[in-house]
Amino acid sequence: MSVGEALPHESAALHVTGHALYTDDLVHRTKDVLHAHPVCSPHAHARVLRLDTSSALEVAGVVRVLTADDVPGINDAGVKHDEPLFPEIVMFVGHAVCWVLGETLEAARLGAEAVEVDYEPLPAIVALTEAIDAESFQGNQPVVARGDVSLGFGAATHVFEGVTEMAGQEHFYLETHASLALVDEGGQVFVQSSTQHPTETQEIVAHVLGVHSHHVTVQCLRMGGGFGGKEMQPHGFAAIAALGAILTGRPVRLRLDRTHDLTMTGKRHGFHASWKVGFSGDGRIEALEATLTSDGGWSLDLSEPVLARALCHVDNAYWIPHVRLHGRVARTNKTSQTAFRGFGGPQGMLVIEDILGRCAPLLGLDPIALRSSNFYVDGQATPYGQVVRHPERVAAAWEQVLTTASVAQRREEISAFNATHPHTKRGLALTPLKFGIAFNFTSFNQAGALVHVYKDGSVLINHGGTEMGQGLHTKMLQVAATTLGIPLEKVRLAPTRTDKVPNTSATAASSSADLNGGAVKNACEQILTRLTAYAAGRDIPWDELVREAYFARIQLWAAGFYRTEGIHWDAAAMQGHPFKYFAYGVAAAEVEIDGFTGAHRTRRVDIVHDVGDSLSPLVDIGQIEGGFVQGLGWLTLEDLRWDESDGPGRGRLMTQSASTYKLPSFSELPDELNVALLEHATEDGVVYGSKAVGEPPLMLAFAVREALREAVGAFAEPGVSVELASPATPEAVFWAIEKVRA
């Protein structure tokens, strides 16, 4: 049995020894490569009046400059046709107006400096609140509603209103965006790309080149992290490399340096939410009305589906009888914000967690009790109409954390500590998590696989998912070995490519093990069925069986397919049953804050998380720890700042390096981090009873934010509502303390 075994990541040894190859490593194995460098706009919004590339061509080593005139197909890098690859109007600081190809990267860079561009600056909208005031919106404005909110507010004993704002987040994958394109002997374009969505990269390369998809093959070896940032954003870069390869006949490499990656590519959406909430006398949520506005940046990209997921997660784990949620996407002159682990879910959930955290003192209730008393129970449905299955798992995980983390006892210790420490306070909080698994857009919930059994009994699998460190390939190897009933060593996995498995969905929505696992299993079962029929009850070792079956002309390979059953979604009505199931979890966090500086430390975190029957426990625990820490970074450290002044730098990303953008590191890890997988959690209808794990744990970090709120509250009189900015950086915590002290 391989599924369920605690194995290291299939590339762990390669990762730690530096032998794992990433897209850009292939450059050194490729002859005559040209290097691409962008010419970036210094303006947040401007019309390109003149573009003169002639002086660039005089720079030694410059081979060609790519401009809009070179595009044989469609000059667009997206699927919404609002992202010109070579723009006439630049929409953000860093927007590439053209690309220079050089014999070396340095030559291309010098060439880019020599390109002359005249701009006519236009008024720019930078802050999200500016966009709201100016009514600068793009895309759909969906509404999720149930019941009658005015009835709910009428019946409520307490009604509160407020605004919750939260910042975005930089992906900061270790490997920046990279593509390497070449034209093969048949005139076909082959693009190696660090992409979560090879099929869409292929489609966009094809439409830019004006060729059909079968002329373009995209391969992704692996990514040094994607986190959603490589779901949509790689396409344009791949298209530039491919265009350069077609026009020069030479391989073209495009890899963004860190500064370019930070300034040119999209990030998590910041959100603004205004809300009104009604509670009964005993703290039951009666009604919620809210307007969520996301900061989409300059183009739509994935902003609409991100917004839809945000709206579908405002409820988190709580029953809200009367609810009305409006959503809008603002258009601002910033990078085009995009998918980021949780895909809007975290932003939606932060709204309700912020509401509960702020209202608990006003209701005179313990936040732990306020939260648990509002949990969904059996038979209740979400605001978008999906009945919540297994809500008792949240309650079970909650009880487990209360016990294993000795919450009652530690709260007493914390009170005693706070009573004797006027300048240092501690706080402890619990938050629950419910996250829907499947793409909201039903069609994406399909996957394919290609499994070959060779005559010697060895097995090679291909599937539609990409590996970005999350351990998908490890799980797929385990699924294949288990289904075929052979040792793991007999199975090898080949890189993801569009000529092996076509029409794939993005490796996203945490669904890739569910989808591709289903497809791999399906392919293996087809082969096994044929082999079993051939064996006709004889007990023959695998290798012999395979060899014999070959001579008997039995097909030893198969294409597998999987589609998620039982889901549907009406995107106009924002109603349906979009998710196959929900992933659940609970976290308890204890923090300590310093009253003089706002500096904070996470003392202890206890997590119970539901992954069904884990396919690969070590991988899953790694995902839970990593997701949690990434959430902690978003909520308490990482502080994206854009120049919102009227100076010449307006619209510039000011935090464009690791020296000004604080990522979580070892020193921000909780002093103690305990992760347990929820037991007896088999999920039926999913591959080997497992559940998705990739994104949900990020949202367990709400517990840290709520614990910070508790600790700030300890500086105030009881009953004071604590408002905390997001991110709750030390600076933000300091100001929150100042406010409650006043």
**From candidates 343, 398, 579, 584, binder to ligand MOS by CB under 6 A:** 343
User: Tell me, what amino acid is at 322?
Assistant: H
Among 167, 216, 508, 629, binds ligand MOS (CB under 6 A): 508
Q: How far is the CB of 468 from ligand MTE (least distance, A)?
A: 4
Active-site residue, selected from the candidate residues 353, 590, 695, 710: 695
Q: How far is CA 112 from CA 40, 56, 77, 86, in A?
A: 9, 7, 21, 15
Residue 226 binds ligand MTE (CB under 6 A):
yes
CA-wise closest residue to 347 among 398, 402, 296, 420? 296
Closest distance to ligand MTE from the beta carbon of 695 (Å): 5
Please tell me whether residue 636 adopts helix, strand or coil conformation: helix
Tell the smallest beta-carbon distance from residue 46 to ligand MTE (Å).
Answer: 33
Q: Does 510 bind ligand MTE (CB under 6 A)?
A: yes
Neighbours of 612 (CB within 10 A): 23
Taking CA atoms, 634 is separated from 166, 546, 585, in Å, by 9, 51, 19
Return the SS3 of 132: helix
Count the residues of the shown chain that bind ligand MTE, applying the rule CB under 6 A: 21
In degrees rounded to 5, what are phi and psi of residue 707? -70, -35
Q: What is the pairing mode between strands 252-255 and 216-220? A: unpaired
Rounded Cα distance between 432 and 218, Å, is 40
If the CB atoms of residues 319 and 343 are measured against ligand MOS, the closer one turns out to be: 343
Q: How far is the CB of 196 from ligand MOS (least distance, A)?
A: 6
- In the bound state with ligand MOS, the residue whose beta carbon lies nearer, of 26 and 166, is 166
Residue (of 611, 608, 558) closest to 585 by Cα position: 608
Select 12 or 460, whichever has its Cβ closest to ligand MTE.
12
Q: Is the peptide bond before 727 cis (omega within 30 degrees of 0)?
A: yes
In the complex, what is the shortest distance from the CB of residue 534 to ligand MTE, in angstroms, rounded to a whole number? 34
Q: Is 612 one of the binding residues for ligand MTE (CB under 6 A)?
A: no
Q: Is 227 in the site for ligand MTE (CB under 6 A)?
A: yes
Measuring CA to CA, which residue among 692, 446, 438, 461 is closest to residue 562?
A: 446
Tokens of 377: 């129970």
Say how far apart CA 362 and CA 299 lie, in whole Å: 40
Q: How far apart are CB 231 and ligand MOS at their closest, in Å?
A: 5
Of the candidate residues 38, 198, 228, 595, the single one contacting ligand MTE (CB under 6 A): 228
Closer to ligand MTE by Cβ: residue 398 or 581: 581
Question: In this structure, are residues 663 and 637 in contact, taking their beta carbons and an 8 Å threshold?
Answer: yes
**What's the Rg (C-alpha) of the chain?**
26
Q: Is 628 a binder of ligand MOS (CB under 6 A)?
A: no
Of 210 and 685, which CB lies nearer to ligand MTE in the complex structure?
685
Q: Which lies closer to ligand MTE via its Cβ, residue 138 or residue 616? A: 616
What amino acid occupies position 297? G
Stretch that binds ligand MTE, among 306-314, 357-365, 510-518, 699-707 (CB under 6 A): 510-518
Cα distances (Å, whole numbers) of residue 497 to 104, 243, 254, 494: 28, 20, 19, 9
Q: Is the torsion defined by CA of 147, 149, 150, 154 positive or negative?
A: positive
Between 126 and 509, name the residue whose CB sits nearer to ligand MOS.
509
- Out of 445, 511, 636, 726, the residue judged to bind ligand MTE by CB under 6 A: 511
Site string for ligand MTE, 98-117 (x = CB under 6 A): --------------------
- The binder of ligand MTE chosen from 45, 95, 341, 600 (CB under 6 A): 341
- For residue 695, indicate whether it is catalytic: yes
Q: At what angle do helices 345-363 and 702-713 cross, to 10 degrees?
A: 30
Round to whole Å and give the CA distance between 291 and 375: 23
> Based on CB atoms, which residue is closest to ligand MTE, 445 or 511?
511
State the sign of the Cα–Cα–Cα–Cα dihedral 598, 729, 707, 286.
positive
Residue 71: both structure tokens together = 């595009």
Residue of minimal Cβ distance to ligand MOS: 228
Q: Which stretch binds ligand MTE (CB under 6 A): 176-184, 243-251, 385-393, 505-513?
A: 505-513
Name the residue nearer to ligand MOS (CB basis): 372 or 516: 516
How far is residue 585's CA from residue 611's CA, in Å, rounded to a whole number? 9
DSSP secondary structure, 347-377, as one string: HHHHHHHHHHHHHHHHHT--HHHHHHHTB--
DSSP secondary structure code for residue 322 in this structure: E
What's the closest the beta carbon of residue 695 comes to ligand MOS, in angstroms?
Answer: 6
Of 247-255, 285-293, 430-438, 511-519, the segment contacting ligand MTE by CB under 6 A is 511-519
Least separation, in Å, of the C-beta of 168 and ligand MOS?
A: 13
Q: Binding to ligand MOS by residue 340, rule CB under 6 A?
A: yes
Q: Of the candidates 253, 334, 341, 650, which one interacts with ligand MOS according to CB under 6 A? A: 341
Return the residue of 87, 228, 465, 627 that touches ligand MOS, per CB under 6 A.
Answer: 228
Interface mask toward ligand MOS for 286-325; x: CB under 6 A: ----------------------------------------
If binding is defined by CB under 6 A, does position 344 make contact with ligand MTE? no
Neighbouring residues of 415: CB distance < 8 A, sequence distance ≥ 6: none
Sheet of strand 189-193, all strands in order from the earlier edge strand to the far edge: 62-66, 96-102, 34-40, 252-255, 178-183, 189-193, 216-220, 496-497
- Do 632 and 702 meet the contact criterion of CB atoms below 8 Å apart? no
Does 56 bind ligand MTE (CB under 6 A)? Our answer is no
699 binds ligand MOS (CB under 6 A): no
Residue 623 interacts with which of ligand MOS, ligand MTE, none, CB < 5 to 8 Å by class:
ligand MTE
Choose between 374 and 512: whose C-beta lies nearer to ligand MTE: 512
Using CB positions, name the residue nearest to ligand MTE. 694
Minimum CB separation of residue 237 from ligand MOS in Å reads: 17
Question: What is the distance between the alpha carbons of residues 400 and 588, in angstroms, rounded to a whole number?
Answer: 11
- Quick one: DSSP state of residue 455? T
664 binds ligand MTE (CB under 6 A): no
507 is an interface residue for ligand MTE by CB under 6 A: yes
CB of 721 to ligand MOS, least distance (A): 32
For residue 339, state whether it binds ligand MOS (rule: CB under 6 A).
yes
Which of 75, 169, 623, 690 is the binder for ligand MTE (CB under 6 A)? 623
- Burial pattern 533-563, b for ≥16 Cβ within 10 A else e, equals ebeeeeeeebeebbbebeeeebebebbbebe
User: Parallel, antiparallel, or unpaired for β 285-295 and 322-330?
Assistant: parallel
Stretch that binds ligand MTE, among 226-234, 372-380, 487-495, 724-732 (CB under 6 A): 226-234
Region near ligand MOS per CB under 6 A, out of 339-347, 422-430, 548-556, 600-608:
339-347
Q: What are phi and psi of 360, to 5 degrees?
A: -50, -50
Interface with ligand MTE includes 583 (CB under 6 A)?
A: no
- Interface stretch with ligand MOS, choices 337-345, 377-385, 553-561, 591-599 (CB under 6 A): 337-345
Q: Which residue stretch of 451-459, 509-517, 585-593, 670-678 sits at the interface with ligand MTE (rule: CB under 6 A)?
A: 509-517
Round to whole Å and give the CA distance between 91 and 296. 12
Catalytically active residues are 695
Which residues lie near ligand MTE (CB under 6 A)?
225-228, 341, 468-470, 472, 507-513, 623, 626, 692, 694-695
Which residues lie near ligand MOS (CB under 6 A)?
196, 228, 231, 339-341, 343, 508-509, 695
